[in-house]
Structure 1
Amino acid sequence: MDALTDQPLAEGQKSAQRSRIANGSATLLGARDERSLYVRRMKEVIAEHVDDRGGLDAMSAAEKSLIRRVAVLTIELEKLETRFAEDETVGERTLDLYNRTAGNLGRILERLGLKRKEKAPRTIQGHLAAKRKQAAA
């Protein structure tokens, strides 16, 4: 049923009351060029987090929204990291922006249920076994 006209929607017809993203006629963020590096990276980051959460069907709308924000912050942090690597003159303001963005990303990930996974301490025997395995490959 279309809320504007009170008429039933034909099969496959999109509702005028929903956004283009919600009704599926626009893709990620409504971007015009889905091939841009930014949009491709967004899709990668979103797909990784959606997979970690058990797929789109297992997620709430709030989780989907948070994951989009995680993707944006992740990409912006990656861009800043590239600036740090390429430009020795990056100043304190950029470092402050990086720190605040990383903190916000961490808080969103905590809301999504980020859990720290403890790794077993590395031993000499484990290190030597990994080196032997690497050399054999």
Structure 2
Amino acid sequence: MTESCTFCDIADGTEPAYRVYEDESTLAFLDVNAVSDGHTLVVPKAHAPTLSAADEETVAAVFRTVRRVGRAVERALEPDGYNVFQSNGAAAGQDVFHLHAHVVPRWEGDGIHFSPSRERIDPSRGERVADALREVVE
């Protein structure tokens, strides 16, 4: 990694963070720009800019830790639920280009909205898009 990466710096201990959990390959820490109490980020310790760029073992490790953190959120904070989300690329809202997943505790009436407006897919479009994806899925 030649450029500076905030999450790499947090993972290697050169930047401070409110650490929640750590294992050999992942780190979970509170988001300093939290949308709710307990909003936690889970990152791989090895740099990968996006989910697509990470190897399968890294992705599996991150989501094992996401599950562990989600269970901790449930036990410690007793939310009504929690969101897990992960963004890839600036258009998707990624602002730190180091793979990370968010675990966001939620309470009824908390005013947090992640859901875009949606409409049912047109069947012919659905078939075309599904066909295009099936052709290249690995």
Q: Is TM-score (shorter-chain normalized) higher than 0.5?
A: no
Tell me which of the two structures has the higher relative contact order, counting C-alpha pairs closer than 8 angstroms and 6 or more residues apart.
2
- Greater helix fraction, Structure 1 or Structure 2: 1
TM-score, length of structure 1 as denominator length: 0.33
- Greater strand content: 2
Is the radius of gyration larger for structure 1 or structure 2?
A: 1
Question: What's the TM-score once normalised by structure 2's chain length?
Answer: 0.33
